[in-house]
Each structure stands twice: as C-alpha cells, then as structure tokens.
Amino acid sequence: MSTIPTATISRLVTYLRILSQLEAQGIKKTSSDHLAEEAQVSAFQVRKDLAYFGRFGTRGAGYSVPTLRRELRRILGLTRAWNVVIVGMGRLGQAIANYPSFDQYDFLLKGVFDIDPSKIGQKILGLEVQHTDALPTVVREKGVDIGLITVPQSAAQDAADALVRAGVKGILNFAPTIINVSREVHVEPVDFLAGLKRLSFYIQNPQLKEELA
C-alpha cells in the first residue's frame, strides 16, 4: 500500500496557495526555488513532494503556474465541490460558518447542528439549526462528505460518533481533544492551542532553529 507523508499533503496545500497567488498576479512561470522560499522549505523538499505524484516541469525551465496549479487541484481532489455540515453552533461554529472564503473554495455548507434546545430553529446563513438526531437524514439527502466539529471538548466524541454513524467520510475537528473514529474516516485536527504551544516552544528556545527540510 502506498504511503505519502502527511507533511507532504500539508505542503501541497501550501504550494497550491502560492500558485494561486502567482496566477492572480498574472505570473506564468515559477521554480522550485521560488515555491521553496515562499513555503519556507528547501527546493529539494518541493521537488521530492511533487515527485510522489509524477513529473512536473522541465529541468532548467521550471514550472508552468497554471499547469502545476491545475495538477495540484486534481491531486488534492479540489476539482469538485464538497458538501459539509457543522456540529456546534456556539460562537466558534458561527464564526466558521460565516468564514468569508468558505464556499469560495467549493466547500458548500449544507447543514448546521447543535443539541442545545435554545439554539435549534435559529437561522444561520439561511440554514435552520437542527438537532444532531437529524444528521443521518441530512447527510444522506444532501450527499454530505465532511463534518466540522465546533462543540466543546467534552462533547467532541459524541459529535464525532454522530457524524460517523450518519456516514461522513472526513471530520475537521476544532475541539482541543483527540477523537477516536473508525479507520475509514479521516480526521484532521484544527487545534489553535497546539499552535500556541508550538509558538511557546520556539519563543522559549530561539537557539533551536526550525528544520527547513
């Protein structure tokens, strides 16, 4: 079975963002050196990451920005739209639902859920907040692929279980806890406290340069 380092997938997402910015600026050609500098990795790392997926660009001539951008979008599965739901309509869930570039990237919000009776029935972006009991129906009828969890830590595993039972294939977990799901469901954590703790490390240890490769 092939394996691709998760860090490679993270970097592909970064390269794609850089390519989109170059394209918006009307720039047609780029190089592994330029991508490396912008992504703060080595040029060797850029070439190695891309090599998992084939041959791109021409030695000495660099990469065509629109071609490489199209290839990365294809590799990442971003040439189609993904239907998503959010479980947890507190402040964080509402902030995420209202994130301006959310559906600009073809992540289409199809439902918002909570278990708090005072929240159910409220309208968020034209969607009525529903009880999580309605998840299986919504996931099936709307073809939902991905669930976002924005509930408190103590409710995160229940929310994950409800999403998995309802049939989502992936979960983006904002709760600061590890959730356990069956192996077929992929979980991506978004833990900003983890980011703060990494910052704390680097501020505390300025002599420990980050490894760039």
Which own/partner pairs from 185-190 qualify as long-range (CB within 8 Å, at least 24 positions apart)? 187/160
Nearer to a copy of itself, 59 or 91 (CB): 91
Length of the chain: 213
Supply 145's token pair: 């692929």
Nearer to a copy of itself, 20 or 64 (CB): 20
Reduced to 3 states (helix: H, G, I; strand: E, B; else coil), residue 164 is helix
* Nearest-approach distance from CB 115 to a copy of itself, in angstroms: 17
Which own/partner pairs from 15-18 qualify as long-range (CB within 8 Å, at least 24 positions apart)? 15/39, 15/46, 15/49, 15/50, 15/68, 15/72, 16/69, 16/72, 16/73, 16/76, 16/78
- Bridge partners of 80, per DSSP, are none
* Nearest-approach distance from CB 20 to a copy of itself, in angstroms: 10
Nearer to a copy of itself, 165 or 199 (CB): 199
Nearer to a copy of itself, 61 or 193 (CB): 193
* Nearest-approach distance from CB 192 to a copy of itself, in angstroms: 5
* Nearest-approach distance from CB 59 to a copy of itself, in angstroms: 27
* Nearest-approach distance from CB 70 to a copy of itself, in angstroms: 15
Nearer to a copy of itself, 121 or 195 (CB): 195
Rounded Cα gap, residues 34 and 57, in angstroms: 13
